[in-house]
Amino acid sequence: MKSVFPYDSVELSASGREVVILDQTQLPNQEKFLHLTSAEEIFYAITRLKVRGAPAIGIAAAFGLAMCINRFRTRSLAALEKEFLRVKRYLFISRPTAVNLMWSLDRMERCFYATKQSLGTTEDKHAIEVIRNALTAEARAIKAEDVRMCEVISELGFSLLHPGCSILTHCNAGHLAVSKFGTALGPIYYAQQQGYSPKVYCDETRPLLQGARLTAYELTKAGIDVTLVCDNMAATLMAQGKVDFVFVGCDRVAANGDVANKIGTNGVAIIAKYYKVPVYVFAPTSTIDLTSASGNDIVIEERPAFEVTDMYYTKPMAPKGVQVYNPAFDITPASLVTGIVTEKGIIKPREVKNILKKG
């Protein structure tokens, strides 16, 4: 599969001392790259959505942790371990819903202690260098594995499509949200490369407009036939028979197959059920959380009011002081999901518990 973009949304510099991200808050008007050199800058970039998308957040956190340890000056292995745990705990709380963040940071911790244990009684100076190298390699491996997962997911998703098909998307689950290619948008890129000429209807995805600013930007840049629609137009499109599939990404899948994704996904799935349009959720297995029995166990992030009332407007679009409810995600029940596309296959939601057992 060919990438249609000359850059990735998140990178670790060759030296391992900088995390380089494309600032997604500046899109579609400016492609601005940020060079992050501290835990605080990584935390801010994640919380303010400068880097976003569950897989990309996980990769950024792993890169950030490796970067901080590479920059931390010490001759004491104990001090290095203390700093590692401090940064890990700090980044762990940057966003609560996307399980990839926790998954990648826990994986980095396992790498730290496995490497430390393998060294035995080695002097601190040598051990510190070995651990730094191991963490950098592990962070790069997390990204490389994500690239491969996206390739496989893209090919599996492509198998659902037919020439000239039309797809409705919500939020952004493309190249910008992962390391490369995308999850829900990956099959669309692949279909375009195979000559299928897919048609995409792109929900704007209020209040942060990830569909309008990011998905429409990506697809337009890739030469895909894309039409931007307001979120409340999805039902009209389906009633008119203009949508063959709904493709969305996700931030967490519970053990029963319930899905946490960008706010509005549940509404789209309800409408699709009524109009008999299949809904496919694209989810690397790193987003599956078996500790959450159902969607009721998933913590939903609530974001600040100004994103609804002021952000992207030259003047406030609501009365001053009005109360605002701004959950970042909602839960789509497993009963509304046709299938979940993972790198291990396309499964029914009820099969989530078994998919992690596959080699």
Active site members: 251
Task: Please report the DSSP string for 332-343 in residue order.
Answer: E-GGG-SEEEET
Contact yes or no for 202/34 (Cβ under 8 A) = no
d(CA 62, CA 77): 20
Task: Please report the DSSP string for 54-71 in residue order.
Answer: HHHHHHHHHHHHHHHHHH
Query: Max Cα separation, the chain?
Result: 70
- What is the spatial order of strands in the sheet that 259-262 belongs to? 288-289, 252-254, 259-262, 329-332
Which ranges in the chain belong to alpha helices (H)?
39-47, 54-71, 77-92, 99-119, 124-158, 186-193, 210, 216-221, 234-239, 265-274, 306-309, 352-355
Q: Is the dihedral of CA 22, 27, 31, 36 positive or negative?
A: negative
What amino acid is encoded at 208 in this protein? Answer: L
